[in-house]
A = this chain, B = another copy of it.
Amino acid sequence: MKILIIEDEPGIISFLKQGLEEEHFEVHTCTNGKDGIELMLRESSDLVLLDWMLPGLPGIEVCKRFREHNSKTPVIFLTARDTVHDTIAGLQSGANDYIKKPFHFEELLERIRVQLRTSLKEPAVLKLADIQIDVNSHMVVRSGNEIYLTQKEYELLEYLLRNKDKVCTRKEIIENIWNIHFDYNTSVIDVFMNSLRKKLGLHKQDDLIHTIRGVGFIARES
């Protein structure tokens, strides 16, 4: 996730940059309004933090002009100006939020997350070597070919992949996929394990889904 900071005070820039990078955002910066617009339009960031007072072009003008070309990317004002009038003007110019300095970094972070929430979809694809499953569409692909799994087969595979590199005991599997919380002496797992492996084209030497005798199974790449 790419965040663009347009702000002229070096102290605030480095404070923000450091904090956001620790949260694994990719941070770009700019210290004046004119270049700011350029970057906003060119860099296709996922979110913009915009200072109110900027050399040259005021922040509110930057925001307005940006919105003429891009109405989607969230913009958050960071500002020392704290009058109702300014807040309103800021929001009317097309910003999505308006945060007053001094602010707590944690709150800023959370407000950033709120804005990104809509565009931030949870990781939808799970991988195991050349097997990929999309948890939204339930589509399973192995090396380019779609594989049709039944409900239970799919659930079993998803469960194993969500717990990649971790042994899934028979008990855990039965509890989580079959919702049986007692009387585990059934061999359904084996039956589904069998058809799953068949459909995926796995063989003993393919060490993608291992059997741990006496315990359960594990999905692991070589």
Residues on A lying within 8 angstroms of B by beta carbon are 71-72, 84, 87-88, 91-92, 95-97, 104, 106-107, 110-111, 113-114, 118, 121, 136-138, 150-151, 165-167, 212-215, 218, 220
Residue of B nearest to A135 (CB): B167
- Least CB distance from A132 to B in Å reads 14
Are A151 and B106 in contact, CB atoms less than 8 angstroms apart?
no
Q: Say how far A200's CB is from chain B's closest CB, in angstroms.
A: 19
21 A-B pairs with CB atoms under 8 Å apart are A71-B121, A72-B121, A84-B104, A84-B106, A87-B107, A87-B110, A88-B106, A91-B110, A91-B111, A95-B114, A96-B118, A136-B165, A136-B167, A137-B166, A137-B218, A137-B220, A138-B167, A138-B215, A151-B213, A151-B214, A151-B215
* A220 / chain B contacts, CB cutoff of 8 Å: 137
Complex contact B71–A84 (CB within 8 A): no
Q: Please determine whether A114 and B96 come into contact, CB atoms closer than 8 angstroms.
A: yes
A110: contacting residue among B88, B138, B218, CB under 8 A: B88
Residues of B within 8 A of A212 (CB): 138, 151
* A160 to B138 CA separation, bound complex (whole angstroms): 15
Query: Looking at the complex, which one of B104, B136, B150, B167 makes contact with A166 (CB distance below 8 Å)?
Result: B136
The distance from the CB of A96 to the nearest CB of chain B, in whole angstroms, is: 6
B contact residues around A136 at 8 Å (CB): 165-167
Give bound CA distance, A187 to B53, whole Å. 51
